Amino acid sequence: MRKLKAELKAEEEERLDGYLAAKLEISRSKIKKAIKEGKILVNGKIVKPSHILKPGEKITVEIEEEPFIPEPADVSFRIIYEDSSILAVDKPSGLIVHPAEGIKEPTLVNGLIKIRPEIAGVGSSRRPGIVHRLDKETSGIMLVAKTEEAYQKLQRQFASREVHKSYIAIVEGSTPKTGDIPLSIGRDPHHRGKFSVGAYSTREALTIFRKVGELNGFSVLLVCPFTGRTHQIRVHLSFIGHPIVGDSLYGKAGGPLGRLALHAFCISFIHPEKEKRMELCSEIPEEFVNFMGKLTEKIKTIKFCSE
């Protein structure tokens, strides 16, 4: 057995067991057991699984994890940046980030273990080095921790919203020039695997966007999520009537790109070793460039919604 260690900071009012089950992807029953055994503390104290978290409360987790060693596999992805503590990779559309129950195809993690076997001991055994994720259909930049120290520091940055991200999205219709979408998101009670605005149990979510231009009845957006909810950008843009092109779950399949038109473009964070803010951007996929034309160079000069 190996120990999973994590330090998290509560973002809003939510039950402790539910929050950790979603955040760590561990069953609620296992989370409850660990809480009762004193392996999960809130502000250094033992609390009940039903404890309602308050924003800013510090959660420390140190639990035994079933051993799981991802098999190394040849997986195609590009390394954008690398040093002694982190990797930044360009995940292609169609590649799943990490192994999970029922997944038989190679994942990004399997590819990482193949080329950087030392990552296997960093963070979660099932998701070694992974501090954030992208949907299978979404392409773009992802940070990966190469050391336990970098893993812990990056996790804390994501929890405290010190990491800034931008995405390129091509959506249906003509959007306003800018927009804020401050709508809470939760699991859709009627559709397994979907999330929705106005669900029974929701979590705060905020997405802002900036229109770069319009082409053939579509809008090209730079989108910046200030929270990291599952499917957040897809749910928010669909809710305001501008679903992402090629989104078969929240819009409709097909479209001019032949895939989900969502790409993680740039990320800004504090380097865990150098302790200086760093900005990295991914290469814009060829299918986006072919569709956007001259807007490609324009979006490269903007990078983040606030600029």
Q: How many CA atoms lie within 13 A of 84 on its CB side?
A: 3
Q: How far apart are CA 166 and CA 175, in angstroms?
A: 18
Q: How far apart are CA 132 and CA 157, in angstroms?
A: 11
In 182-275 the beta strands, taken as DSSP E runs, fall at 185-187, 195-197, 202-203, 207-215, 218-225, 262-270
Of 95, 146, 92, which Cα lies nearest the Cα of 117? 146
Residue linked to tokens 């501090």: 131
Q: How far apart are CA 25 and CA 75, in angstroms?
A: 24
Q: How far apart are CA 146 and CA 24, in angstroms?
A: 19
DSSP 147-176: SHHHHHHHHHHHHTT--EEEEEEEEES---
| Packed helices 16-24 and 28-36: angle between N→C axes, nearest 10 degrees | 120
Query: Could you confirm whether 74 is annotated as catalytic?
Result: no
Take residue 5 and report the two structure tokens written for it: 């260690």
Q: Please tell me which residue in 135, 180, 188, 247 is annotated as part of the active site.
A: 135
Q: Are 127 and 109 in contact (CB under 8 A)?
A: yes
Residue linked to tokens 């503390």: 41
**Three-class secondary structure of residue 38 per DSSP:** coil
Which residues are known catalytic residues? 135
